[in-house]
Chains A and B, each alone.
Chain A
Amino acid sequence: MNKDINAPAKQAEEVEYHVNMGPQHPSTHGVLRLCLTLEGEIIEKLEPHCGYIHRGIEKMCEKDTYQQIIHLSDRTDYVAAHMNNHAVCLLVENALQIEVPERVKYIRTIMDEMTRIQSHLLWWGCYGMDLGGMTCFFYGFRDREKILDIWEETTGARFLQSYYTPGGLMQDIHPNFQKRVKEFLKYFSKKLSDFDNILSNNVIFLERSRGVGYLSREDAINYGITGPSGRGSGFACDVRKRFPYSMYDKVDFKEILRDEGDTLARYQVRMDEMRESMHIIEQLIDNIPAGDYSAKMKPVIKLPEGEYYQRVETARGELGIYCISDGNKTPYRWKFRSPCFSNLSVLDRISRKCKIADLIAISGSLDLIIPDIDR
Chain B
Amino acid sequence: MNIEKLKERVLSLVPDAQFEENKQFPVFIIPAAKLHELAKKLKTDEDTEFDFLFCLSGVDMVKYLMVVYHLNSIRLGHSLVLKVKTEDRENPSVDTVSDLWKTAEFHEREVFDLFGIRFNNHPNMKRIFLDDDWKGYPLRKDYIDEVNIIER
Contacts and interface: CB of A to CB of B under 8 A. Distances in A.
A and B touching (Cβ–Cβ under 8 A): yes
Interface of A: 50-51, 54, 56, 58-59, 63, 219, 221-224, 226, 235-237, 242, 306-309, 311, 318, 320, 322, 324, 333, 335, 337, 341-342, 344-346, 349, 374
A108 to B, nearest CB: 21
Given A59-B149, A322-B70, A374-B129, 14 more contacts: A59-B139, A63-B152, A221-B51, A222-B101, A224-B103, A236-B74, A306-B22, A307-B24, A308-B24, A309-B24, A320-B55, A322-B55, A335-B55, A345-B103
B24 A333 contact: no
Contact of A341 (B106, B114, B139): B106
Contacts of A322: 55, 57, 68, 70
B106 to A, nearest CB: 4
A242 B76 CA distance: 12
Given A51-B129, A54-B129, A308-B24, A318 B54 contact: yes
Contacts of A309: 24-25, 55, 70
A335 B69 CA distance: 12
B35 interface: no
Contacts of A349: 102
6 contacts: A58-B139, A59-B139, A223-B103, A224-B101, A341-B110, A374-B129
B23 to A, nearest CB: 8
A222 B103 contact: yes
A337 B55 contact: yes
Contacts of B53: 224
Interface in B67-102: 68, 70, 74, 77, 101-102
B138 A307 contact: no
Majority secondary structure of chain B interface residues (helix, strand, loop or mixed): loop
A51 B128 contact: yes
Interface in B17-55: 22-25, 27, 51-55
Nearest to B127: A51
Contacts of B106: 341-342, 344-345
Categorize the interface residue count of chain B: 20 to 34
A50 B53 CA distance: 21
Interface string B98-127: 000111011100100010000000000001
B14 interface: no
A333 B57 contact: yes
Contacts of A219: 102
Contacts of B149: 59
B62 to A, nearest CB: 10
Interface of B: 22-25, 27, 51-55, 57, 59-60, 68, 70, 74, 77, 101-103, 105-107, 110, 114, 127-131, 138-139, 149, 152
A337 B103 contact: no
A54 B54 contact: no
Contacts of B110: 341
Nearest to B57: A335
A51 B130 contact: yes
Nearest to A326: B61
Contacts of B70: 309, 320, 322, 337
Contact of B138 (A56, A337, A346): A56
Contact of A221 (B22, B52, B59, B138): B52
B25, B77, B110: residue with the most chain A Cβ atoms closer than 10 Å: B110
Contacts of A56: 138
Contacts of B52: 221, 224
B139 A222 contact: no
Nearest to B60: A333
Contacts of A54: 129-130
Contact of B105 (A221, A226, A345): A345
Contacts of A221: 51-52, 74
Contacts of B22: 306-307
A346 B104 CA distance: 11
A235 B22 CA distance: 28
A5 B127 CA distance: 26
A307 B77 CA distance: 21
